[in-house]
Amino acid sequence: MDMSGKLRIEPGTKVSLSRHDPDATPGAKSKESVQAILARNLATLRELQYLMYAENKNALLVVLQGMDASGKDGTIRHVMSGLNPQGVSVTPFKAPSAEELDHDYLWRIHRRVPPRGDIGIFNRSHYEDLLIVRVHRLVDRSDWSRRYDQINAFEKMLVENGITILKFFLHISSEEQKERIQERIDDPDRRWKLSESDFTERKFFDDYQKAYEDVLTRCSTLWAPWYIVPANRKWYRNFAVSEIIEETLKGLKMKFPRPQIDLKKFRLE
């Protein structure tokens, strides 16, 4: 079974995160055993990005979700580092602006969807409107409970228009999160990343886990499945995400287009 099959949540599966070990490394024996594969994957991703740009029929949208300190930034830094920056956009979705609040919650998301030929990466995403608004009761239950079906329909529309969607939930334990936040506290060069929410949101760890379970259960679809990536081990997180992206892009069966001119009619002088 390929990596996608190992970590993909099949539609209709009721997810319980307690059954998913964040220390697990399915498909990998050790960090040393996958280093060469990871390096090869990163090189292949560069080639596939160029092919997708040339063909200009598809776009790739990578959605990264996870608890604070789960490694969203690290995944972008390590897995996407070799891509051509001209064809990649990274959007960190934070609290919506006043302008964004005057529109529907998907308005700001749709504006950042990558054009054909490009790769878009969402650091957090439209799923925050099923997570933080629920945990902190920012909107009524009747409002956020409708959003599962709305998001599924939105993603289906994107897929039907040439956008391939990969959604990764970076799964870490509460203990691992605590250790990573403590590392930031202890490291003078990383303290700048700390915010008040790193401390206050930990109190809601279990509430967020429950909210994520419902998201993973109700929004893993045939057209836009979720992948639960065990992320306590950073090396495995990077390896697994790179494998799934590579497998997905290869599955598009992309081809270089024909030249736009008849080369037989031209000769270099």
Cβ(179)–Cβ(70) under 8 Å? no
Q: Is residue 155 pLDDT above 70, yes or no? A: yes
Query: Following CA atoms 86, 252, 25, 183 in sequence, which dihedral angle do they give, to the nearest 10 degrees?
Result: 20
Q: Is residue 1 pLDDT above 80, yes or no? A: no
Q: Which of 210, 229, 180 is nearest to 62 (CA)?
A: 229
Q: Is residue 229 pLDDT above 80, yes or no? A: yes
- Using alpha carbons only, how large is the chain's radius of gyration in Å? 20
pLDDT of the residue at 86: 94
**Mean predicted confidence (pLDDT) in 77-85:** 93
**Mean predicted confidence (pLDDT) in 170-194:** 95
The chain-wide mean pLDDT, for the chain, equals 96
Band of pLDDT at residue 197, cut at 50, 70 and 90: confident
Half-sphere exposure in the Cβ direction for 267 (13 Å, CA)? 1
230 membership: H or E segment, kind and range: strand 226-230
- What is the reported pTM? 0.95
**Mean predicted confidence (pLDDT) in 127-148:** 95
Q: Is residue 143 pLDDT above 60, yes or no? A: yes
pLDDT of the residue at 263: 83
**Mean predicted confidence (pLDDT) in 146-151:** 98
pLDDT of the residue at 265: 87
Which domains does the chain show, CATH number per domain? 3-252 (3.40.50.300)
| Integer Cα distance of 31 and 163 in angstroms | 32
244 burial type by CB count under 10 A (0-12 exposed, 13-18 middle, 19+ buried): buried
CA distances, 234 to each of 70, 190, 192 (Å) = 9, 17, 21
Of 263 and 205, the structure prediction assigns the larger pLDDT to 205
CA distances, 172 to each of 24, 113, 142, 176 (Å) = 10, 27, 30, 6
* Paired strand residues for 60: 119, 164
Query: DSSP letter string over 93-121?
Result: --SPPHHHHTS-TTHHHHTTSPPTT-EEE
Query: DSSP letter string over 6-28?
Result: HHB--TTPPP-GGGS-TT--TT-
Over residues 45-64, the pLDDT tens digits come to 999 999 999 999 999 999 99
Query: Following CA atoms 47, 53, 59, 60 in sequence, which dihedral angle do they give, to the nearest 10 degrees?
Result: 20
* Paired strand residues for 8: 227
Q: What does the H/E/C string look like for 116-177? A: CCCEEEEECCHHHHHCHHHHCCCCCHHHHCCHHHHHHHHHHHHHHCCEEEEEEEEECCHHHH
Band of pLDDT at residue 260, cut at 50, 70 and 90: confident
pLDDT of the residue at 88: 97
